[in-house]
Chains A and B, each alone.
Chain A
Amino acid sequence: MDLDRKIALTSAAIYSALSLTASASFFVAATVTGDYTAVARIGGALWVLLLSYIVTMPPVISAVKKRMKATQ
């Protein structure tokens, strides 16, 4: 597997995990704390997931790239 692909997969695994955690946390919090409709809970979780992806992708990709290139 070439380095670029390895970087992409490793990064994707990390930022996806972070984003899904944030999204799931939102969903759980919405379910536990209030009387929200399913649409609000799911829609909110999706919005958080999208924004979390946007927030986590650049730093995670950059960090993974740096680390992998340094250890190459």
Chain B
Amino acid sequence: MTTRQITLPVTGMTCASCVSHVEGALNNLAGVEKAAVNLGAAKATVEYDPARASPAQMFAAVADIGYEVGTAQATLSVSGMSCASCVAHVEGALNGLDGVTKAVVSLALNTARVEYVPTLVTVAQMKRAIGDAGYEAAEPAAGVSAMDREREARQKEIRRQGMYLLFATPIALAVMIGTFYEYLAPAFRQFIPALLAEKWLLGVLTTPIVFGPGRQFFVNSFRGLRHGVTDMNLLYATGIGAAYFIAVINTLWPDAGFGGKGATFFESAALLTWFIVLGRYLEALTRGRTSDAIRKLMSLQPKTARVMRNGNEIEIPADEVLVEDLIRVRPGERIPVDGLLKDGYSAVDESMLTGESLPVEKKAGDTVIGGTMNKTGAFSFVATKVGADTALAQIIRLVEDAQASKAPIQKLADWVAGHFILGVHLLAILVFAFWFFFGYQMFFDPDTSFILSPAKLSEIGVFGFSLLLSVTVLIISCPCAVGLATPSAIMAGTGKVAEHGVLFKNAEAIENAAKLQTIVFDKTGTISKGEASVTDVVVGGEAHDSKSVLRLAAIAEKNSEHPLGEAIVRGAKERGLEVPDAEAFDSIPGHGVEARVDGREVLLGNRKLMAARGVDLAGLLAKAEELERDGKTVMFVAVDNAPAGFIAVADTLKDYSVEAIRTLHALGIETAMITGDNRRTAEAIARQVGIDRVFAEVLPQDKAAEVKKLQAAGRRVAMVGDGVNDAPALAQADVGMAIGSGTDVAKETGHVILIKDDLRDVVVAIEVAKATMRKVKENLFWAFIYNTLGIPLGAGLFYPLFRVIISPELAAALMAISSLTVTFNTLFLRRFVPSLRRGARGTGGPEAPRAPVLVSSAAK
């Protein structure tokens, strides 16, 4: 069976129980293997068998339980249609696309109006489908970008709850003043008409609040109940409904036995609704801010590109650029897609994608990344990656996936919150039964009042009192904050770290990264540059200086293809030396080269070569051996059979490797290096960089085994690497961090991608992960402490002692405060700056590295 995976944007979810609600509806569909919903991202990821289930069935299942799959609309102008059957053809072509929920074609207007799920299908695909059906579709007459749609959906929710709030606020205030009229100070009371205290008027005022802004709770909970699922709306609906119903009965029929006129809690129903709507409004306002990063990334995508077609420069939508299109970019413009620079020269600001603050110079042959800003010159480039294949699109997808995934701690929190609702209703029955049969008779005092309220409950009967406590338990137990605690922090954390050029692929990686104890680095290409460089030039006699030694060696090696020879030539050129061709050149395999330069015989090679030619190295050997102990390779130079000096070549450290390792040590993390190199070279590099442990002479296939050994010893291990041979170790590690400049295999295997070639981003990843998980724990603490304290309070546990109970509206206020505490606490994460990004960075110099304390050789 082949399964497919799709991501559906789901709107209308407000709490953790909505998550289990939607997951339940999707999982119950035949053919759905697994459905996972993320509240923070408002997305459902569904794995399904396309032969047995379709996206349309999923949309219907989600809609059926009262939520909506976020759709967008586009209007395409279609030409070539002549009759009704053309309409059917075009509609058929569009409806055949996964992700199109509805397509209506108008023959008279020559348009196709399409409702679609943006995560499943694009406008460009629709146009292609229409084209394949034999018609022509022009650019959408109306359509909005993904970012606009996302913002529009959020704005719609903010507007909706804002309108409700605007409507409910003055009325709720009037109801509150009317209810407490007789307790008001006389000076204030003279401005209030006494009529406002009339119970029937309070009822008239409360009714539009309950059935206006409060209607959403009744409708949603009814839809859910029809399908056998419960959510927060049900808590609100039963709370508001019970308070309102009792108040109406006591107003119209005060002798019915529900507590009479003294128990008309219209203000409870009104204020309860008001608090919940206020909470939802503030939540809609603030929750959007936790996903700022994704919006920032989306805003980088230019909407249009200027493409050369048939010799003309035309402007087309960026998503219609094809691979190999030649694209023109002017100064100040964003680069629309990824490509290879063909003509021109410029400096490009890539900070938005890589975090690198300095503009990067670009010349012909260099790659350019879509979404980055061209600063100085105009240039043209050939598109190499377009649409979903661009680096920016992949980054956005990775961040979205990470935000949509669930950390293990979140799965637990969701499970608790999802089962909490039923537990709360069960508790409400028990509380009601206890106070009805025992509590009221044993403890009720006519002087009973609500906390923070002067009103007395003297007239309330056993039923009214028990019901009040039962309703309060329902309201105060709402686990909204529990549901929000983890996803909001994960969302903010993944976004924050993406700003620094670090991409977490899922939430589990964040949780694991926060617990790391050991980080194993691949050597070549990760800690070191992976290419040899000239590190020392030592002169052997007064006849030469370092420049002449290097120049002669470079000329001798110019035609060599040996990596050490190439390093010497490159080293000479980097030092500004001219390297002409040698007059004669001969390679001595395994030993070195000999050449004639400026009429002199130059010999370059190892000890054996020098000994064979009778060159006396006595004055050079001590220094040469010292450098060899540091892992450097020494090449001796002799001119006319006399020693001229030697050149040391080594794989050099990358910039900032030392600084990164030093900071990791400061964080209390052990560092290790794994390499196939010989022990001496590995130890030399480890000494320079300050690595704690070295695994040398490890075969590529054994790297994962070394990581496994560390894990078996109880360590939580991260592996940082870039090569294909690192992939198994990256997969084996608790957290695999792939260097962005590395191979695709490494990036696909790793759990974290470091976009830049900068080891300090390992520190950034760990610090942000730690900050995120700290925030998750704080949030969960606040959420659970609220429920832990709130439920006994609401159930009247302290009533026998203090003779006060908590009112439903105060319970609602506390519930709203709990959710807001969590959301605002998460927002503080946006201000977090990793230590290495705070102002001045260290120099990255090699000072104060630590010597390896344990060196193990793992030769196989």
Contacts and interface: CB of A to CB of B under 8 A. Distances in A.
Interface string A9-48: 0010000000000100010011001101111100110011
A51 B467 CA distance: 12
B236 interface: no
A55 B426 contact: yes
Contacts of A38: 257
A58 B429 contact: no
Contacts of B227: 61
A58 B229 contact: yes
Given A26-B433, A44-B466, A51 B228 contact: no
Contacts of B228: 11, 57-58, 60-62
A55 B422 contact: yes
Interface string B224-258: 01011110001000100010000000000000111
B572 interface: no
B250 to A, nearest CB: 11
Given A33-B437, A59-B422, A47 B258 contact: no
B824 interface: no
B425 A55 contact: yes
A44 B436 CA distance: 8
Nearest to B432: A47
A15 B238 CA distance: 19
B426 A39 contact: no
A32 B428 CA distance: 22
Interface in B378-437: 422, 425-426, 428-429, 432-433, 436-437
Nearest to A26: B433
A44 B429 contact: no
B470 interface: yes
B690 interface: no
A19 to B, nearest CB: 11
Residue among B227, B441, B462, B467 having the largest count of chain A Cβ atoms under 10 Å: B462
A65 B425 CA distance: 22
A52 B287 CA distance: 34
A62 B24 contact: yes
Contacts of B258: 39, 43
Nearest to A65: B28
Interface in B244-296: 256-258
A54 B234 contact: yes
A37 B437 CA distance: 13
Nearest to A37: B257
Interface residues of A, number: 30
Contacts of B462: 36, 40
B27 to A, nearest CB: 10
A30 B257 CA distance: 15
A58 B422 contact: yes
A43 B426 contact: no
B90 to A, nearest CB: 34
Nearest to A63: B228
A54 B225 CA distance: 8
Residue among B242, B425, B466 having the largest count of chain A Cβ atoms under 10 Å: B425
A50 B437 contact: no
A58 B238 contact: no
A17 to B, nearest CB: 16
B180 to A, nearest CB: 27
A35 to B, nearest CB: 10
A58 B423 CA distance: 12
Interface in B463-522: 463, 466-467, 470
Given A37-B461, A39-B463, A57-B228, A44 B432 contact: yes
Contact of B429 (A34, A37, A48): A48
B225 A48 contact: no
Contacts of A22: 429
Contacts of A50: 238
A70 to B, nearest CB: 12
Given A30-B436, A34-B437, A54-B230, A40 B461 contact: yes
A15 to B, nearest CB: 9
Contacts of B256: 39
B18 to A, nearest CB: 14
Contacts of A48: 429, 432-433
Residue among B228, B229, B432, B437 having the largest count of chain A Cβ atoms under 10 Å: B228
Contacts of B230: 54, 57-58
B330 to A, nearest CB: 60
Contacts of B229: 58
Contacts of A55: 422, 425-426, 429
A47 B436 CA distance: 12
B167 to A, nearest CB: 28
B284 to A, nearest CB: 27
Contact of B463 (A11, A44, A51, A60): A44
Interface of B: 24, 28, 30, 225, 227-230, 234, 238, 242, 256-258, 422, 425-426, 428-429, 432-433, 436-437, 441, 461-463, 466-467, 470
10 contacts: A30-B436, A38-B257, A39-B256, A40-B436, A43-B258, A51-B428, A51-B470, A54-B225, A57-B228, A61-B228
Given A40-B461, A53-B225, A54-B225, 13 more contacts: A11-B228, A30-B436, A40-B257, A44-B463, A51-B425, A51-B428, A52-B429, A54-B234, A55-B422, A55-B426, A57-B225, A58-B230, A65-B28
- Counting from the closest, the 8 A-B pairs by CB-CB distance are A61-B228, A39-B257, A40-B463, A37-B257, A51-B429, A54-B425, A55-B425, A58-B228
